[in-house]
Every structure is written in C-alpha cells, then in structure tokens.
Amino acid sequence: MGFELTGKNALITGATAGIGLAVAKRFVKNGANVIISGRREEGEVIAREIGAHFVQADLTIDADISRLFDHAEVLLGDLHIVINNAGRINKGGVIAEQSVSEFDQVFHLNVRAAYQVLQLAAQRVTAGGSIINTASIVAMSGGAGASAYCASKAALVNLTKTAALELASKNIRVNAVSPGLIESEIWDGNIPYEMAKKIVPMQRVGGGDEAAAVFHFLASDDSSYVTGANYLVDGGYCAGPVMR
C-alpha cells in the first residue's frame, strides 16, 4: 500500500465515525499508533475494535481540547501526526433567515475549536510531522442555504495556508483535504447517491477509504515537500459543471 507509517503517533479528532474513522482504520493498518477522539462514549468500543486508543472529548469545551493533547502525550509520547477532523454540519437556512446562534454553533466547532487544535498541534507536533485539516469542497464553491458551513470551511483552508507558512521553518507540514460526497452514516437514505449521478463527473459517491488514502499520503514522509496545499477528493466536482 505504500506510504509508511510504522512508528508514527497520530491523533485524529472526530474519528468515531465517517472519514475520521476511515482514516484511523487505515493508519492502524499501516503501522501507526493512533488515538481517536469524539464526544460519543461508544468511541471506547470502536477504538478497541480497530486497535486504537480513545479519548472522549467535546471540542466545544476549551478544557477538553487541552486535556486531549495532554492524554495524547501520556499515551503516545511524541506526536507526529494530527488530523484536525471534527466538524459540525450546517443546519441549513439562507443568510436572510438563519439565526446568529446557529451560525455561532457552526463556527465554534469548525473554526474556533479547529483553530485551538491547530494551535496545540503547532506546539506539540515534532519536526518532520504533519498536520492535516479536514475542509470541504464548499470552501471553494459555496452553497445556497449553507452559508455558515461554507464560510467556516473556507476559513479553515486559509488557516491551513497560514499555518503552513509559519511552521515551514520547523519542518512541520500543514495541509487540508476537501472531501466532496463521501459515504457516511450522516446521509439521509439515497439522496447523496442520486445527487452524485447528476453533479459529480465520476457519477458516484466516494468511498471512505478513498478519502482516507489522501490523508495517508499527506501524513507520510512521502509528502515531505507538500505543505500549504488543499487536496480535493470530489470525483471532479470542483473541476466544473457536468455537461450531459
């Protein structure tokens, strides 16, 4: 499979489901020592099943973020990889109608908490390490009815570039991955699958491991000259409109 991770210590937030869990499984399979975090208590069982550690944390609570990194140091020692993956999906609502409180909820987790994770990662990841932020294709395209979510992911892409500039001299790489329609338990029925046939050039939803493969590359030493980048995993969606 390539992209050696043996002996690497990785912390992955928001990893009890979806892309985060797919990344954790792939990292463990390729020799990394992994901590997954999330709000759900079931994370303990999930971590045990895949051969990882679990630290329960609600990243909207400042103390939980600090505690998460402290536990990571105790459990693993040096940190080589941090996947800043936890995020909140926009509840919907056009700009003229969405409440400020809903906007704040999205930005609290997707930007404020992500910034705090990035900040601690910048302090604790060792030279030669990798920090990866999970953004979204909406950071580039926007989306009617999802203003808070789109703006939050755009902010994360810009933070990625800024952090990459600041940490380059320390030989710490910072990149983003922007997934499109990827298989997930959050989807309602067949809606994304039918949508993909219409708007995705490859005419399908991506698999979790297809997204995880990109994180795997960016976490490995094979990407040693890649920083400040934003990798699209979207089946061609951002390349332009589908003409059929």
Task: Specify if 99 maps to a domain.
Answer: yes
- pLDDT category at 91 given cuts 50, 70, 90 is low
* Range of the structural domain that residue 74 is part of: 9-236
Average pLDDT over residues 216-240: 97
Task: Specify if 58 maps to a domain.
Answer: yes
Task: Specify if 26 maps to a domain.
Answer: yes
**DSSP of 13-41:** SS-SSHHHHHHHHHHHHTT-EEEEEES-T
Task: Specify if 244 maps to a domain.
Answer: no
pLDDT surpasses 60 at 232: yes
Distance between CA atoms of 132 and 110, rounded to whole angstroms?
A: 14
Strand-strand pairing, 53-56 and 33-38: parallel
The alpha carbons of the chain give a radius of gyration, in whole angstroms, of: 17
Task: Specify if 4 maps to a domain.
Answer: no
* Beta strand ranges found along the chain (DSSP E): 9-12, 33-38, 53-56, 79-84, 125-134, 173-179, 230-233
Instruction: List, for residues 16-29, the tens digit of each pLDDT value.
Output: 999 999 999 999 99
Task: Specify if 172 maps to a domain.
Answer: yes
CATH code (residue 136):
3.40.50.720
Task: Specify if 129 maps to a domain.
Answer: yes
149 is catalytic: yes
User: Considering 115, 149, 193, 231, which one is annotated as catalytic?
Assistant: 149
How many domains is the chain built from?
1
pLDDT surpasses 60 at 1: no
Task: Specify if 3 maps to a domain.
Answer: no
Share above pLDDT 70 across residues of the chain, in percent, rounded to a whole number: 97
pLDDT surpasses 80 at 164: yes
